[in-house]
Structure 1
């Protein structure tokens, strides 16, 4: 039922009001007495969130409904309210026909595998503990969730007051970023600022291909940087002052280098560039690798000496602030970094250029394909690990083949310090996948 980012899929097929009702029932049955509820701008979210609330209250839990808000705002509100859990009705960066449900623990962290498994088991068995007619839970509206988030951003980050920033909201719910930057004194120009869950301005996922308009606007103006969010603003990507989309591995390296010193640790998924490990080794800091997924990264941020965690896809976690990927916090932190250093382009250009290649292969048999790739890889290579998918280390670099947690895709990544080696590793991985597809 639950992937690496909760339940997601087409509305009316994978994601229905009946499922939302049952997840709400299961949360309260599992012991959640107070649940914070929010949603993104998708029209289907209204129906689904009402169903979640009905399920929670039917089993005696109370609901604090903060309405249409960024995912990190909801996660922060769970902590602010002292609630037992949170629910965000969102498909994040997925296309408009999709929606989803993601669950949050009392410390603002995404539910891990064990917690999701408990909820799934209750749903699948129909083992709901319905409250008596006179002991139903209450539904109340939350107040000022976004205002508290904005104030927390300005209190935790020294945002410079002389920057010009383009903020591409992607028709999503991340307006708190523009509000916080504007309140700090920045000159802010928004793009795709009208909330619309159909995402008419651009696709929700903040990739280089999807954010060309933002790149062009930054390049054509005197903006110091551009910020781009996905539909629920848990992700943040950036554009430098020359109008270049900044790669996620470069952002991850800049953030990690900013936060970590000797003895500190930074958490990253297995598909992260060597760039991060090399940069941290220069200051005697350590990398901890996890499976891909912000829930896995967040879980490891509870370990001692972890100062930051992030994913190249745009999820950034500062555990002292929140264990939810917080796109607005990342945006304000990047603005502070640029304000202190003077040029995002210069910071990026100062990083070594490690060629890394990524692609995806669509298949409905993703698990079987990855399992077959593992068999083929072990026949050919000595250093094969299965922390998440199949990662193969060679003298030249590494490649990773893993199943997507949210889509019918097998993802492949290859990296080396030399372009030819990266190309060769990528081609090797691609051929393994093609062979696996024929025999899986």
Structure 2
């Protein structure tokens, strides 16, 4: 059996790769590893379970709840809420673990299972490995102690989770958003109720699009992976800015008043300077991944902000932040972590803090985001290849070396296998867009020929 966990939980096509049986089995294993379920525990463990609006989340949630309760874990079902809401509630309610059912920005047929440990933190690799080990032991027939009678878990609807999470978001803002008009694209996803409510309570005039989930339309032509509708709506409504979330709202991208995209790197740059000004950017340091635009690195150097870079994945950003006590980190894709207020990327919180900076300074988003200049960056996703051989192919290694020689110190190349999808990502940065496209295209051809 290959490793089930990718960079962000267990993910696949619902009812094909990610079945009810797998969801149930993983939940039992997670109960044993994270909640210490069983007679030796000495307490009654609790789990918080939430999901995004995907139709498949309904049966997968039932399987997860059944697995947890059968292992002696009491379950608080919070319903459709963002991933960061489940993480927050796991910590705020003192639960032993949290479970979120979502495939984030992936298309509707996919789904995923994300586990959180006590405090609402994502799992370290060793915990994921332990869950897989226990799951495999049970799957192959090794018996496990099943509680009976009063020992089985109880299941309760926790409707208070919505208000508790929204109140938290509004309470941590440095200032109100009065006077701002904001368009929110909810991707027909998990934040369709939460985000408009939070922005409205914070004082903004809100226009919403993509906020009518029906279980089938999540991420469909809208949200952070499809910004066209948001760009048009911001211009049409004369809004100060637009905010786009993905399906589970752990990421945030923005659009300025003229309809231009503001990506995660630019948002990080704006928030880094705001937090440094407020004295909350510990160590005057921000954490980002190797995918961050070279322009972001140059801007932080110019502004006197230290940059720590990690592997791709907000979990690795978070690990680096926790290790050194840094307060801000994130990814170009819009996963932004403000560690004083969240244990994971929180798209709604990020959007609120970005809007708060506009309200506090009276400056436009375009002006604030202008602190960095994005170098042309081309990303090509190559499908139907053996992504496990990215680091071992001699032909591919030689092609990368030649590309790096051509670009010199003014550009860079990054190849990596996706942790959430069956593909290889080719990223090229160069001073000129056409050069970046040319190099990326050649490398993508080599990936196809050498790993196909």
Compared CA separation, residues 382 and 182, structure 1 to 2 (3 A): closer
Deviation at 1:383, TM superposition (A): 8.8
Superposed counterparts of 1:4-83, under 5 Å: 4-32=7-35, 33-83=45-95
Is 1:96 the equivalent of 2:108? yes
Compared CA separation, residues 429 and 183, structure 1 to 2 (3 A): same
- Tell me the residue number matched to 1:429: 443
Compared CA separation, residues 92 and 423, structure 1 to 2 (3 A): closer
Deviation at 1:246, TM superposition (A): 2.0
5+ residue gaps in structure 1? 385-391
Superposed counterparts of 1:207-226, under 5 Å: 207=225, 210-226=226-242
Q: Match of 1:371, SS?
A: coil
- Tell me the residue number matched to 1:146: 162
Among candidates 346, 367, 370, match of residue 346 of structure 1 = 367
| Between 225-234 and 130-139, the greater mean CA deviation after superposition | 130-139
Q: Match of 1:88, SS?
A: strand
Superposed counterparts of 1:226-237, under 5 Å: 226-237=242-253
Is contact 1:233–1:327 with CA below 8 Å preserved after alignment? yes
- Tell me the residue number matched to 1:358: 379
- Tell me the residue number matched to 2:286: 266
- Tell me the residue number matched to 2:337: 317
Deviation at 1:245, TM superposition (A): 2.3
- Tell me the residue number matched to 1:184: 202
Compared CA separation, residues 338 and 131, structure 1 to 2 (3 A): same
Is 1:119 the equivalent of 2:136? no
Compared CA separation, residues 428 and 159, structure 1 to 2 (3 A): farther
| TM-score (normalizing by structure 1) | 0.90
| TM-score (normalizing by structure 2) | 0.88
Q: Match of 2:255, SS?
A: strand
Is contact 1:38–1:68 with CA below 8 Å preserved after alignment? yes
- Tell me the residue number matched to 1:409: 423
Is contact 2:46–2:75 with CA below 8 Å preserved after alignment? yes
Deviation at 1:71, TM superposition (A): 0.9
| Between 23-32 and 365-374, the greater mean CA deviation after superposition | 365-374
Deviation at 1:52, TM superposition (A): 0.8
Q: Match of 1:102, SS?
A: strand
Compared CA separation, residues 77 and 241, structure 1 to 2 (3 A): same
Deviation at 1:425, TM superposition (A): 4.5
In structure 2, what is the Cα distance between the partners aligned to 1:48 and 1:203? 25
In structure 1, what is the Cα distance between the partners aligned to 2:178 and 2:274? 20
Compared CA separation, residues 374 and 160, structure 1 to 2 (3 A): farther
Is 1:248 the equivalent of 2:268? no
Compared CA separation, residues 201 and 396, structure 1 to 2 (3 A): closer
- Tell me the residue number matched to 1:388: none
Deviation at 1:262, TM superposition (A): 8.2
Q: Match of 1:118, SS?
A: helix
Compared CA separation, residues 341 and 424, structure 1 to 2 (3 A): farther
- Tell me the residue number matched to 1:387: none
Is contact 1:161–1:185 with CA below 8 Å preserved after alignment? yes
In structure 2, what is the Cα distance between the partners aligned to 1:259 and 1:377? 43
In structure 2, what is the Cα distance between the partners aligned to 1:416 and 1:258? 29
Among candidates 312, 318, 327, match of residue 298 of structure 1 = 318
Deviation at 1:369, TM superposition (A): 3.9
Compared CA separation, residues 148 and 358, structure 1 to 2 (3 A): same
Q: Match of 2:429, SS?
A: strand
- How many residue pairs get aligned? The number is 429
Is contact 1:168–1:193 with CA below 8 Å preserved after alignment? yes
